Chains A and B, each alone.
Chain A
C-alpha cells in the first residue's frame, strides 16, 4: 500500500481491517515484521519553504536528503542533525521526514540546539480511524491547544500516520572546529564534557569513544569559534593535552560518524541506545562492561554493544531508558524494543493508543503491549 495523497492515506486506514506496518524509508527498522506494509514514501514533496522565517513544511514521505539539499541552497540546515542509521542497522532505502519525526531522531546537537521534537512546529496525521488531524502549525511560537506535535514525535506511528510535518530550520555555520582530548577514562571524560558544556562557550557536540578520545564541537562565525576554542582550552587544561582540528571535511566526518554510530557497523552482538543523566554514564559502563561503547550528549546518550541476548535493562541501576536498536530476530521476539515504563505511565500510554488507534491498526505492539480490543 502506497498512498500518494493524504486523502488516499485516510481512506486506506479507514478501510483497513488488519494491522499495518508503517514504513517511511525503512532505514530505521522500526516497523514490526507482521502486518501489511503501509509505505508513506508516495507522500512526497516540500510544500513550503520560507528561509527568512526559518520554516519548512513537507509531506511526510519527503526524503531528508531532498530537504537538506533545499536547505543547503539557502545556507540553512536541520539543526537537530538526524542520524543516518543505514550503515549500522544494515538497512537500505532513503530516510524520510516522517520517519525522522516519528522516531524523534536527534543527533549530537541535541544537547545545545534541541531534539527533533523541539524543531517540529506542526503535524498533520491520520489516526487509526482514518480521521485527518492537524496540530500546531508553521510558526515558531504556538500554545494554541494541547501540543500533539510532541506526542507524535517519538510515537513511531502508533498514534497516527504522519502525512505532513512543519519544522524550524536554522542557518548553517561559517565554520566548525573540533577539540580532542585523548586518554581519559569514562569518569574523567564525562567530567571534561560537563566542564565544557557548563561553560559559556556554546559547545554544540560533546562525545566520547571509550577506545579513543573526547570530541568537543564548536560552530559559528570563524572569529567567534576560534575565540571560544582558545577559552575552552583554558577551561579544560586539567584534562591533558588538547588537539584542535579545523579541517572542515575532517570535522564533518568526525561528527557524522558519531551521529550515525558508525563505529558499530559490522560489530557483533546487540546494539543498545541508552539515555541517562550524564554523570551516571561512567558507573553504568563499568556495570555493563560493554564490548564497545560511545557516549554522546555529554554522556547522556550511550551507544553500546552487548553479547546477544543480554538484558541491559535488568542491570540498569540508574534512571533512564534503554532502546534495543539492533538484534537478532530471536532476541527481538523475546525482548521489547522500548524500555518498559512504570505502571501508571504504561497505562496512560496504552489509553492514549486506545483512543487514537482503537482497533490497533498502527504498528501494534511496537511500543508497549497491544490493547485488548484488537480485532
Chain B
C-alpha cells in the first residue's frame, strides 16, 4: 500500500509537539511512548500497520479544538479514531501523524423523548446509545455488526449501515446535527434537533467523509420507539438465482421487512459446523425479519410465505418463540467469526442492484475458480449490499496479494453491474486505489474540492479515500502555500 513519505520536519519536531500538547492537555491524555502508541498502529483492517507519532485522548470539544489548533500550526497530520473497528483502514495512522481518539468522550448530553432525539459525545458506542434509552422503550436504529464496540464518531465518518437499515436507513438518515471541530481548531455547529438544513446540506456531506473534513465531537441522533415485536423466518432455496428472485418479489409485493439477509452454501456449511444453528444445507438461505404487533407480524409472514412458496423453497421455518428466533439469527450473526475460524479472510462490501444478484454471484464463483481462492457470500440482500468473504492463508507467501487482486476484480464487477465499491464499510485505504474504477477525474475533483474547502492543508486523515495520484497536485499545492 503506497503511503506518502512521512514529513521529516514533523518527525524532527516531536518533542516540541508533545510539549505544546501538554500545555493544553493533562499528561494522561498524551501518549508518546513507542510501545504504547503501537496500540493504535492499525484498525480492524489488520493487514496494514503503522505506529503513529503520538496519540491523544481528549475529554472535551475544547481539548479537541486546542489539539487541532496546534497540529494545524505545526502542519502535523491528524487521524481521528473512534473505536478502531474500521474494516477499510479508515483509522490507519501515518508515521508522522497524531491519532486523535475520542473514546474518552462518551457522555449522553441530553435525552429528549418529546422531540425523539438524543445528544451524545461521539466516543460513545453505538449499542450504548440504544442502551441509554432502552428502558423507556426507545432505540437508535443504525446497527452495524460491530455495534458493541464501534463509536458514533466512526459511524458518522463512515456513514455506517447495518442489518436493519432496509427499513430504518443508515447513519446519514438518522443524524440530525453535529458539533464539529475544523482542522484549524474552529468549532462549528451544524444542524440540531430541527429537521433539514436552512442552507447547503453540510451535514449530509460531513457524514461519510471518513473524518477528512473535521472531527465530530457531539451528535444529535434520531431515536425511535421500539416496535412491539419482531420475528424472523428462514427460507432455504436450491439456487442463488431463485433466492434472488424471491427477494425481488417480496419487495415488489409491498412488504418492507426490516432485514433480508442472504447466505450461500459455502457459508451455511461453515456456520453449521461452527454454531450448529440447525440450518438446512441448501444452496441459498434467506433470513427475513418483520416487525410489529403479533397479528401484524402474522399477516406479513403469511404474505412472505405465499411469495416464497411460489419459488419452491426447500425449507420455510418460522420462529415460534424467542428461542427459535435467536437460533435463526445465531448462524447469521456468527458467520464472520465462523469463517475466521477456518481461514484468514477478506471481507468485501460492494453494493449491486438487487436485480443483478444472480449474475454477480455466478461471476464471483467463476473468479473463485480462476484465482483458486474460496469465497463465501453472506450479505444484506434487501439492499444489494454484498459481503463476499475471500478465504486466504496469511502465512502463505503471495496469498494476501492474490486475495487483494481477486477482491479488486469483484469490486470492479459490482461497479460494472451498476453498483459501487463500498456500501457501508467506507473507502479508507482499502478501496482508495479503486476509486478510479467508479469515478472519472471530474467526479473525484468535485469531491476533492469539498476537502479543499474544509481542510485546505489536507492534514485530516491523510492518504485515505482519494487515490494518491489524483490528490497529489492538491496536496503539493498546500505544501507550496506554506
What is the 8 Å Cβ interface bit string for chain B, positions 417-459, against chain A (1 contact, 0 not)?
0111111111100010001001110111111011111100000
User: Closest B-chain residue to A151, C-beta based?
Assistant: B205
B383 contacts the other chain (Cβ, under 8 Å)?
yes
Taken together as a complex, chains A and B put the C-alpha atoms of A140 and B353 apart, in Å, by 8
Does the CB pair B423–A141 fall under 8 Å?
yes
B334 contacts the other chain (Cβ, under 8 Å)?
no
B252 contacts the other chain (Cβ, under 8 Å)?
yes
Which residues between 200 and 237 of chain A lie within 8 Å of chain B, taking CB atoms? 200, 221, 223-224, 227-228, 231
Does the CB pair A141–B443 fall under 8 Å?
no
A137 contact from B173, B182, B252, B419, Cβ within 8 A: B419
A150 contact from B205, B227, B420, B440, Cβ within 8 A: B205
A33 contacts the other chain (Cβ, under 8 Å)?
no
What is the 8 Å Cβ interface bit string for chain A, positions 118-155, against chain B (1 contact, 0 not)?
10000000010001111101111111111111110111
Does the CB pair B293–A159 fall under 8 Å?
no
Does the CB pair A53–B198 fall under 8 Å?
no
Given A148-B450, A155-B201, residue A135 in contact with residue B443 (CB < 8 A): yes
Shortest B368–chain A CB gap in Å is 23
Which residues between 143 and 195 of chain A lie within 8 Å of chain B, taking CB atoms? 143-151, 153-155, 158-159, 170-174, 191, 194
What is the 8 Å Cβ interface bit string for chain B, positions 461-472, against chain A (1 contact, 0 not)?
000010000000
Does the CB pair B450–A151 fall under 8 Å?
yes
Does the CB pair B172–A351 fall under 8 Å?
no
Taken together as a complex, chains A and B put the C-alpha atoms of A53 and B357 apart, in Å, by 11
A345 contacts the other chain (Cβ, under 8 Å)?
yes
Taken together as a complex, chains A and B put the C-alpha atoms of A348 and B424 apart, in Å, by 27
Which residues of B sit under 8 angstroms from A74, Cβ to Cβ? 252
Taken together as a complex, chains A and B put the C-alpha atoms of A75 and B112 apart, in Å, by 37
Does the CB pair A349–B200 fall under 8 Å?
yes
Which residues between 136 and 189 of chain B lie within 8 Å of chain A, taking CB atoms? 137-138, 158-159, 161, 165-166, 169-170, 172-173, 182, 186, 188-189
Does the CB pair B384–A319 fall under 8 Å?
no
What is the 8 Å Cβ interface bit string for chain B, positions 311-338, against chain A (1 contact, 0 not)?
0000000000000000000000000000
A3 contacts the other chain (Cβ, under 8 Å)?
no
Residue from B186, B200, B255 having most chain A Cβ neighbours under 10 A: B200
User: Closest A-chain residue to B188, C-beta based?
Assistant: A344
User: Closest A-chain residue to B452, C-beta based?
Assistant: A355
Does the CB pair A115–B293 fall under 8 Å?
no
A224 contact from B190, B299, B421, B440, Cβ within 8 A: B299
B421 contact from A50, A144, A155, A221, Cβ within 8 A: A144
Which residues of A sit under 8 angstroms from B166, Cβ to Cβ? 140
B217 contacts the other chain (Cβ, under 8 Å)?
no
Shortest A304–chain B CB gap in Å is 16
Shortest B21–chain A CB gap in Å is 24
Interface size class of B (residues with CB under 8 A): 35 or more
A278 contacts the other chain (Cβ, under 8 Å)?
yes
User: Closest B-chain residue to A160, C-beta based?
Assistant: B446
Does the CB pair A134–B443 fall under 8 Å?
yes
B8 contacts the other chain (Cβ, under 8 Å)?
no
B249 contacts the other chain (Cβ, under 8 Å)?
yes
Shortest B375–chain A CB gap in Å is 20
Does the CB pair B446–A139 fall under 8 Å?
no
A52 contact from B182, B188, B355, B440, Cβ within 8 A: B355
Taken together as a complex, chains A and B put the C-alpha atoms of A158 and B165 apart, in Å, by 31
Which residues of B sit under 8 angstroms from A342, Cβ to Cβ? 188-189
A139 contact from B251, B420, B443, Cβ within 8 A: B420
Given A134-B440, A141-B423, residue A174 in contact with residue B186 (CB < 8 A): no
B396 contacts the other chain (Cβ, under 8 Å)?
no
**Interface segment out of the listed B54-62, B63-71, B113-121, B123-131:** B113-121
Does the CB pair A141–B446 fall under 8 Å?
no
B310 contacts the other chain (Cβ, under 8 Å)?
no
Instruction: Count residues of A near B (Cβ-Cβ below 8 Å).
Output: 86
User: Closest B-chain residue to A322, C-beta based?
Assistant: B198
Does the CB pair A143–B137 fall under 8 Å?
no
A199 contacts the other chain (Cβ, under 8 Å)?
yes
Which residues between 175 and 231 of chain B lie within 8 Å of chain A, taking CB atoms? 182, 186, 188-190, 192-205, 207-209, 225-228
A99 contacts the other chain (Cβ, under 8 Å)?
no
B196 contact from A54, A104, A151, Cβ within 8 A: A104
Does the CB pair B452–A153 fall under 8 Å?
no
Which residues of B sit under 8 angstroms from A143, Cβ to Cβ? 158-159, 161, 170, 208, 422-427
Shortest B429–chain A CB gap in Å is 14
Shortest A176–chain B CB gap in Å is 13
Does the CB pair B205–A50 fall under 8 Å?
no
Does the CB pair B380–A146 fall under 8 Å?
no
Which residues of B sit under 8 angstroms from A319, Cβ to Cβ? 192-194
Given A146-B205, A338-B199, residue A137 in contact with residue B420 (CB < 8 A): yes
User: Closest A-chain residue to B437, C-beta based?
Assistant: A144
Does the CB pair A356–B170 fall under 8 Å?
no
Does the CB pair B446–A135 fall under 8 Å?
yes
A153 contact from B113, B204, B438, Cβ within 8 A: B204
Which residues between 21 and 51 of chain B lie within 8 Å of chain A, taking CB atoms? none
Given A118-B173, A345-B188, residue A146 in contact with residue B208 (CB < 8 A): yes
Does the CB pair B199–A132 fall under 8 Å?
no
A159 contact from B197, B200, B420, Cβ within 8 A: B200
Shortest B95–chain A CB gap in Å is 26
Does the CB pair B251–A321 fall under 8 Å?
no
A154 contact from B196, B351, B384, Cβ within 8 A: B196
A95 contacts the other chain (Cβ, under 8 Å)?
no
What is the 8 Å Cβ interface bit string for chain A, positions 43-79, against chain B (1 contact, 0 not)?
0000000111111000000000000000000110000
User: Closest A-chain residue to B446, C-beta based?
Assistant: A133
Which residues of B sit under 8 angstroms from A275, Cβ to Cβ? 194-196, 198
Does the CB pair A110–B195 fall under 8 Å?
yes
User: Closest B-chain residue to A168, C-beta based?
Assistant: B383
Given A53-B248, A137-B418, A141-B384, residue A154 in contact with residue B197 (CB < 8 A): yes
Does the CB pair A53–B296 fall under 8 Å?
no
Does the CB pair B443–A300 fall under 8 Å?
no
Given A137-B419, A143-B158, A148-B447, residue A153 in contact with residue B195 (CB < 8 A): no
User: Closest B-chain residue to A194, C-beta based?
Assistant: B114
Does the CB pair A55–B446 fall under 8 Å?
no
Which residues between 271 and 303 of chain B lie within 8 Å of chain A, taking CB atoms? 292-293, 295-296, 299-300
User: Closest A-chain residue to B189, C-beta based?
Assistant: A342
Taken together as a complex, chains A and B put the C-alpha atoms of A9 and B190 apart, in Å, by 33
The chain B residues found within 8 Å of chain A, CB to CB, are 112-117, 137-138, 158-159, 161, 165-166, 169-170, 172-173, 182, 186, 188-190, 192-205, 207-209, 225-228, 248-249, 251-256, 292-293, 295-296, 299-300, 351-355, 380, 383-385, 418-427, 431, 435, 438-440, 442-447, 449-454, 465
In the assembled complex, 29 residue pairs joining A and B whose CB atoms fall closer than 8 Å, in A order, are A53-B251, A117-B196, A117-B201, A118-B172, A132-B442, A137-B419, A138-B353, A139-B352, A139-B384, A141-B383, A141-B423, A143-B159, A144-B435, A144-B439, A145-B427, A145-B435, A147-B172, A147-B205, A150-B203, A151-B202, A158-B200, A194-B113, A200-B226, A224-B293, A275-B194, A319-B192, A320-B192, A342-B188, A355-B449
Q: 18 new A-B pairs (CB below 8 Å) besides A143-B425, A154-B196, A277-B193?
A: A53-B353, A131-B442, A133-B446, A138-B418, A139-B384, A146-B447, A146-B451, A148-B205, A159-B200, A194-B115, A198-B114, A224-B293, A275-B194, A320-B194, A321-B197, A345-B190, A348-B454, A352-B200
6 closest cross-chain pairs (CB), A and B: A150-B204, A321-B198, A52-B248, A171-B254, A141-B423, A277-B193
